[in-house]
Amino acid sequence: MKQPLISLILLVVLTVARTAGAQTDYIIGAQDVITITVFGEAELSGRFTVDQDGSFTYPQLGRLTAGGLSLRALELELRKQLADGYLKNPQVAVGIETYRSQRILIMGEVRSPGEYQLNGEMTLLAALARAGSLSPSAGREVMVVRPPKRLAAGTPPPETQEPEVIRIDLGELQAGNLALNVALQDGDTINVPKALSVFVTGQVKSPGGYGVERNTTVLQILSLAGGVTDRGASGRVKILRMVNGKQTEIKAKLTDFVEPGDTIVVPERFF
């Protein structure tokens, strides 16, 4: 099932402002390179790499903890410490120069599956665009599998806690429902399954395999196949379906729902 690249691009553009505004909520991690600007104080401004233990060395203040803090929280902490005997009303800005600590995995029906760095508050649409957009065989649903949250930085999640699975309807998302454009988190796995399909054969204009969605009827599938030919018997359509490992022949009505893996057979009319 083809998914228009233009729709993805337009929706990504619509979310740029939201992403930029939420960057201060990014959680700093090991190996991230942060920029600290103290206005009017060049010696206190610069680039700093967060070490594996989550800390970094800062002029005047020594070792500071950044891992596990948001950019906004680190700004507030620096203001507090610099105001304690160093500067009067310091103005501090913290940003990320290089994102290295957080990653996501994109797999399934995208053009460039693989592991990607999580840059700021990356959304689902932005991630799919980075992976080259959806392949023509992609289905309508995307699953975001989110690992259990850690109780504290550096500690593993409880063994009994299950991953969260978020299911997103791509049709609704591409139609403009930005509430479905979820913000991704460190460790998320995005899975784009193949479209479910049925096979149409016999007296139709374009026999072959067709992607289906839930509650797709026989009539809708026949329409995708170009409709029944003049020689076809639309009243004697049958479905070949695997039931308990055995192929079963079902006499079908045009209003019946099809299932993935079905073969729809349109026989020739009697003359």
Q: Give the CATH number for residue 125.
A: 3.10.560.10
Residue 162 C-alpha from the chain's centroid: 19
For residue 152, tell me if it sits in a domain: yes
Do residues 47 and 34 make contact, with C-beta atoms less than 8 angstroms apart? yes
Residues 71 and 167 in one domain: no
Q: Is residue 258 part of a domain?
A: yes
Domain end, chosen from 192, 211, 227, is at 192
Q: Where are the beta strands (DSSP E) in the chain?
A: 33-38, 46-49, 55-58, 62-65, 92-98, 103-108, 114-117, 141-146, 164-169, 189-192, 196-202, 208-212, 238-243, 246-251, 263-266
Range with the lowest mean pLDDT among 64-68, 79-83, 136-140? 136-140
Q: Spell out a b/e string for 147-173, using b for 16 or more CB atoms within 10 Å of the CB, else e.
A: eeeeeeeeeeeeeeeeeeeeebebeeb
pLDDT at 120 > cutoff 70: no
Domain endpoint, select from 192, 219, 240: 192
Whether 14 and 145 share a structural domain: yes
- Quickly count helices (H) and strands (E) in the chain: 6, 15
pLDDT tens per residue across span 95-109: 988 878 788 999 999
Is 271 inside a domain boundary? no
Indicate the range of 7-16, 67-76, 173-182 predicted with least confidence. Answer: 7-16
pLDDT at 36: 96
Let me know whether 50 and 83 are in one domain: yes
Q: Are 82 and 215 contained in the same domain?
A: no
Band (pLDDT 50/70/90 cuts) for residue 155 is low
User: For residues 157 and 243, which has the higher predicted lDDT (pLDDT)?
Assistant: 243
Residue 113 included in any domain: yes
Q: Is residue 169 part of a domain?
A: yes
Do 50 and 93 lie in one domain? The reply is: yes
Residues 69 and 181 in one domain: no
Q: Domain total for the chain?
A: 3
The pLDDT score that the predictor gives to residue 12 is: 45
DSSP 138: B
Residue 125 lies in a domain: yes
Instruction: Kindly state whether residues 124 and 177 are assigned to the same domain.
Output: yes
pLDDT surpassing 80 at residue 213: no
Residues 106 and 185 in one domain: yes
Residue 209: pLDDT band (50, 70, 90) is confident
On whether both 134 and 255 belong to a single domain, the answer is: no
Domain of 86: which CATH number? 3.30.1950.10
| Whether residue 181 sits in one domain with residue 114 | yes
Query: Residues 22-41: pLDDT tens digits?
Result: 456 778 888 899 999 999 99
Backbone dihedral angles phi then psi of residue 106, each to the nearest 5 degrees: -115, 125
C-alpha count within 13 angstroms, C-beta hemisphere, residue 25: 11
Q: Is residue 172 part of a domain?
A: yes
219 found inside a domain: yes
Say whether both 9 and 123 belong to one domain. Answer: yes
Query: 156, 171, 192: which is the final residue of a domain?
Result: 192
For 168-178, the pLDDT digits (tens) are: 988 888 888 88
Q: Domain of 224?
A: 196-266
Q: Does 150 share its domain with 168?
A: yes
Q: Where are the alpha helices (DSSP H) in 22-162?
A: 71-83, 124-130
With CA atoms as reference, report the closest residue to 182 among 102, 117, 118.
118
